[in-house]
Amino acid sequence: MTVPTAALPTVVIGAGPIGLAAAAHLLGRGIEPLVLEAGPHAGSAVREWSHVRLFSTWSELVDPAAAKLLAPTGWAAPDASGYPSGGDWAEQYLQPLADVLGDRVRYGARVGGVSRLGRDRVVDAARDEQPFTVHVTRADGAEERITARAVIDASGTWHTPGPIGADGLPALGERAAAERISYRVPDLDDPAVRARYAGRRTAVVGSGASAFTALAQLARLAKEAPGTHALWILRRGIGGSTFGGGEADQLPARGALGLAAKAAVDDGHADAVTGFRTLATERTGGGLVLVAEDGRRLDPVDEVIALTGFRPDTDLLSELRLDLDERLQAPAALAPLIDPNQHSCGTVYPHGVKELSHPEKGIHVVGMKSYGRAPTFLAMTGYEQVRSIAASLAGDRDAAERVELTLPETGVCGGAGLFDEAAATGADADGGGCCAAPTVLQIGTGAPEVTTGC
């Protein structure tokens, strides 16, 4: 027996920036949304990095449909040219937007899985005619099933950070050393966190905007707390694209992050170790020793900050028929556009329902999660994604296929290039190979001080 779906809501998983924007676009199209958020507030994941300043301005962080929904409430848009912190974004925009949506947002509602009503992944019969069923566990432990006409998964990747192991698996001893390893940019304004890193030697593993932010923060701490020093662990060599676009970046604050990372090394507050692919962490009396796949061992560090990107939780949708790229775990049609093996940030163009559709009709993965393991996502991209999807669900094919966004070029990326090459032609030959010796690299002066983050 088939079940009518027209009167059912479209379930949106996650009350973050893209999930709430999706709800706003759906309402604007006359489609009833139901947003399920595992945390107690809107933007619960964003609040966990509330101390980090974004490199996008407010003008790029407020979705147009959301602003239209907020306008009748008297909400005043922040200064369009300002750079908010994660906390600002959550308090001044995401929570007010969720409040306008009212009962359409349910907190403490953790989604454990999505399927078709009465159909597991194997069954073909009348599959597309059945509504989706969403398994939810509430904060009090009670469980329920919610039926939906469509599902938009905007649950993000925040809770599934990458490990320090270069092969994608936790390094040997990584789990056992968990009390000394953080997977987040530290909040050095918190006295307890500050005490953890002040006067100590910290390894920062990663090469993106978050790593740049951590290096800049540790460099500032070093000026106030003698003995503070960072060891920057890079899996590749240093080249022209390692630090992003710099002054050429059309997002100036994003470019400044790379310049700040240069300054941290140039001023002697950080040593850069290139071509180091971590195999193991070993405890010693003096802290943790990182061991590379080629046998190199670094001097002990007190702490490790692992900022090696994020990955999607694919278990959530395991009963649905998705077409995911084998490398990135992103939608197969989107993956070639964002693959860091082939592209820099500037080559990614806006996309929508066409690239985000799957064999299972009515399910769309959006936001950070849609990028799988690619590091180039911007909020503007997610807003364009959900605009297109809402138009498609409303039957407006022309609007769904129309591009309504221009993205800034040149950014901080995982780096195109061969596996064992430096990131760009002209890199120092002593630092570009997989077996290069640890080297202190002097790579420029005059970088501006920044407070912006990923």
User: Would the pLDDT of 434 be above 60?
Assistant: no
Cα-Cα-Cα-Cα dihedral of 385, 391, 394, 396, to 10°?
Answer: -140
Query: Would you state the pLDDT for residue 285?
Result: 86
> For the whole model, what pTM was predicted?
0.86
Provide the token pair at 368.
């950070």
218-232, 243-257, 328-342: range with highest mean pLDDT: 218-232
Contact 344, 338 (CB under 8 A): no
Cα-Cα-Cα-Cα dihedral of 233, 235, 241, 247, to 10°?
Answer: -20
Query: Would you state the pLDDT for residue 453?
Result: 39
CB atoms within 10 A of CB 54: 25
pLDDT per position as a tens digit, 247-283: 555 556 666 777 887 888 888 999 999 999 999 999 9
User: Would the pLDDT of 153 be above 80?
Assistant: yes
Q: Which residue type sits at 313? A: D
Close Cβ partners of 272 (under 8 Å, ≥ 6 residues apart): 232, 234, 238, 265, 431, 439, 440, 441, 443
Percentage of the chain beyond pLDDT 90 is 72
User: Would the pLDDT of 40 be above 50?
Assistant: yes
Contact 109, 38 (CB under 8 A): yes
DSSP state at residue 94: I
Q: Residue 276: CA atoms inside 13 Å, Cβ hemisphere, count? A: 28
Determine the Cα angle at 102 with ends 16 and 7, to 5°. 95
Query: Would you state the pLDDT for residue 405?
Result: 76
DSSP state at residue 119: B
Query: Would you state the pLDDT for residue 378?
Result: 87
Query: Would you state the pLDDT for residue 344?
Result: 54
pLDDT per position as a tens digit, 348-394: 667 999 999 999 999 999 999 999 998 878 899 999 999 999 999 99
Mean pLDDT of the chain: 85
Query: Would you state the pLDDT for residue 409?
Result: 54
Per-residue pLDDT band for 2 (boundaries 50, 70, 90) equals low
Average pLDDT over residues 85-109: 98
Per-residue pLDDT band for 209 (boundaries 50, 70, 90) equals confident
Task: Report d(CA 48, CA 357) in Å as an integer.
Answer: 30
- Of 243 and 232, which is predicted with more confidence? 232
Provide the token pair at 281.
């962490």
DSSP state at residue 334: T
